[in-house]
Structure 1
């Protein structure tokens, strides 16, 4: 039976970075996939580790303004390929709900990163927010059309041959994204995925999906680590 265990935030961060650094030591030419990269800085708890290692990567961010910031913030990493699209079950376009840049409050910079293909029922009205915050986000959010790309097309376009680490942060769309990635073919050693915006049903489906593919799971309120190291 694969382990499923709740841990504290501090232990979570320590375990995640420790496992990532261990992969850096034992793997030759390691590669990671990041879905929902935002600007590469805001709420990026792995930025220091990404900076200190020599991994190759593909990072996806659908919002054009956030993508422009991402390009600037990772310009010093030539082995990072950046893709201006949302990972989805199909190629084309979709409407994404986000907070307009002009409405982001100076005291809450994390609002830059809130955007979801799941719409208003995920990150904008989630139970974890204070009532006034949820009302503000809902009233200020807007729909914006973005490009979508399937995993199969992404794999062909950027030449993905292996994936050692996956990071997913898509504000409630996370289970769908996870299930689009071929875990049988690629079988990454380490997965980080946001779970805070998932419904109880979607969270159970995500945990079950990862366990069926042979992963143990450590989690806290916001995120999970799945691994088979």
Structure 2
């Protein structure tokens, strides 16, 4: 499995449970191999520390995933960088986020980015079963880049991502056309479903 935007590995602050289910899943399923991707250096250090007791074969990658190899400016905000994004957010949304997280600090750093294909090549991945993405609005761009890979074994049967309500449903339509079924997930504290799960019909 691959997790893009792994943060510190343990928490998803906007979710009702406050927990990242990947952490417990890997802890109780040590035979699963994982690649955990987190671009913010300080958070990346915490990620590795939090996973120190896991028995899985885990590769930690301190990069962001974009369409190409590049260096980009990342705006860091939110508790422990949880709300960091490549996108400039509408002021109304920023105010709402700050109110929820009670965290007003915001800085910008340059992060090294690699493509999904490059990630798989560096990690020598031959097959990917599951991918979880939490990239604060960049999720569906990453998914579309994954769908364009020429190695079908690297396109997972299950996608799990945070739905950006400010984008259209083009990504979901493309996945549906490729034989995926879309489900709602990630009930937040306001009673809304923040996430989408796409499962290919071949494993349903």
TM range, smaller chain: 0.7 to 0.9
Residues 1:73 and 1:210: Cα distance change in structure 2 (over 3 Å): same
- Given that 1:96 and 1:119 are in contact with CA atoms closer than 8 Å, whether structure 2 keeps it comes out as no
Counterpart of 1:67 in structure 2 is 44
Q: Are 2:194 and 1:225 aligned?
A: no
Give CA-to-partner distance per residue, 1:153-212, whole Å, 9 cap, x none: 1121110110101100001111111112147613322211100x34142xx112112112
TM-score normalised by structure 1 residue count: 0.71
Among candidates 66, 80, 105, match of residue 140 of structure 1: 105
TM-score normalised by structure 2 residue count: 0.79
Q: Distance in 2 between matches of 1:154 and 1:132?
A: 33
Q: Are 2:45 and 1:45 aligned?
A: no
Classify the secondary structure of the residue corresponding to 1:40: coil
Q: Are 2:4 and 1:35 aligned?
A: yes
Structure 1 consecutive aligned stretches of length 4 or more whose deviation exceeds 4 Å: 134-137
Q: Give the length in aligned residue pairs.
A: 182
Among candidates 29, 32, 35, match of residue 55 of structure 1: 32
Among candidates 143, 159, 165, match of residue 178 of structure 1: 143
Give CA-to-partner distance per residue, 1:70-99, whole Å, 9 cap, x none: 111112345110100000011121011112
Q: Distance in 1 between matches of 2:11 and 2:88?
A: 21
**What is the CA distance between 1:120 and its match in structure 2?**
2.5
Among candidates 67, 76, 98, match of residue 89 of structure 1: 67
Classify the secondary structure of the residue corresponding to 2:170: helix
Q: Which has the higher helix share?
A: 1
